[in-house]
Structure 1
């Protein structure tokens, strides 16, 4: 099969012929129609990820058709159009993943290929209203956003929620999911254009995180503080999040792209009685809940650009530059 292979840190992805995987007991073989990029793929390429091994086929998101079945798999799955849950071996504790937890695309070969073998428990019917490219844009970002908002963040209809760094895949999916559940959504970005585009998707408004004192300014703009704040940057911006949080509010962090939390005034945390929560990926129940919401609201993930598989390295460079609005997708067949 054709696959994009990463041979070592700092090297471009190479399109080459590699052996087609064979499904083991409990697995299915999916012929992929589309895959999507995540920042995780760029971080692995840059060597900024634990458990590196080479060569590796990156890619956590994918949609396609089940073409072969491993031992013990019901024949009814054959020829089904599916999307893939990239969370593997979560474990028995729904509150946190087990030490054996992994994400498709490292340490196991991922979806930047014509075929991928995955556990049968990790494939779900592709939403009928989505194309393969749209469906491929959903899994990793969608389950991360769903768990952050609803499982960890306990978001309820009518609450005011702030989603930072709008434009990335997780943040945009969080915006769409929160709007679908009846929340009042506000956003931050360094780009006025991205804020405007977020408003077209249902956000009430937003503010630039480059503006000094943006936390208080956004509270004034929104007409009040925020019940839930969902963030992937951390770093010095946490002080502004604490300013913007309502008493009894919840802060959910699913990443830390700007580094260590600095200048964080603890008085806001204890005096406002805030909940500070972490969230990573999601359980099978989170993924099923995501699909229920997507199907019920007929949500369509935002895609920035679709590339052919052979142009995957070009897509990686666009991801690294951070200019995209929505998901970058690879068309495979």
Structure 2
């Protein structure tokens, strides 16, 4: 972290996390000099699902919920960004305070509850950037008070398929009551059937927009096997592993560790990577996997790839390391590939799947 970032972080950490987050969005919107740089190289490029990623590192959903700064995030060095989660109707989310920093653990607990401005506002913003370069995925969810959550996801597909680089079906947030129950096989089968039917009824590129499923890390082997079976059966293009965890294992923080909500950041790395490797073994070589959870260095990003990831995402790591982090990680990945004589950083994919799949979850 450079001096400017250290000063900025010190100032932001004096504020409550949600206010600090809003200021960081404002800084990116105003084009303040917070941008990093990432090298470009054929060694970093990833081609998947008809998409050409300049590098495998992306910004995870949750930071840019309303699609205000996707292109500013790309300028930080990310190879892609993901906006949302967006629900059909705007909703305020859960009561504040609802974000807590665990600084000693380099972690965050949040119980935001899909706070967002709704489909219409995001649609307007995404429509305005139509034709811009850069891959922006859209993460879709269901309203808390919806009487038909399956229909909410169908609406998301119809609304955004033509504008998204890819769509993510998010059923793994722990902060919307009952949402994770949609990961149960019978419910998941209906959801994915309806989502893919909604996509299939569209025309043009929208008819083939890649669909990814975002899953929780708090799943046992039988549940993972059920999810993998439905993903394969419904021909879902990819799985994002993983969302935040309800586990508090290994935390040193004694101020906020008891707060309810999902935990992200460094403590999530081992669990999420173990689940990632299990999912790779279950799904085989062809399904796209995106590794998320505890990525904060080039080495942790590379280890996600070794555990089976095609792409990698981060969010919490940037809170603690600053906006130069994506550029540093991408540069580190390239340096590693060059030093090892790799034609492509993807060449290490799956090289430690067995190791990680053997770790307890």
What is the TM-score when the length of structure 1 is the normalising length?
A: 0.32
Q: Which has the higher helix share?
A: 2
Larger Rg: 1
Q: Which has the higher strand share?
A: 1
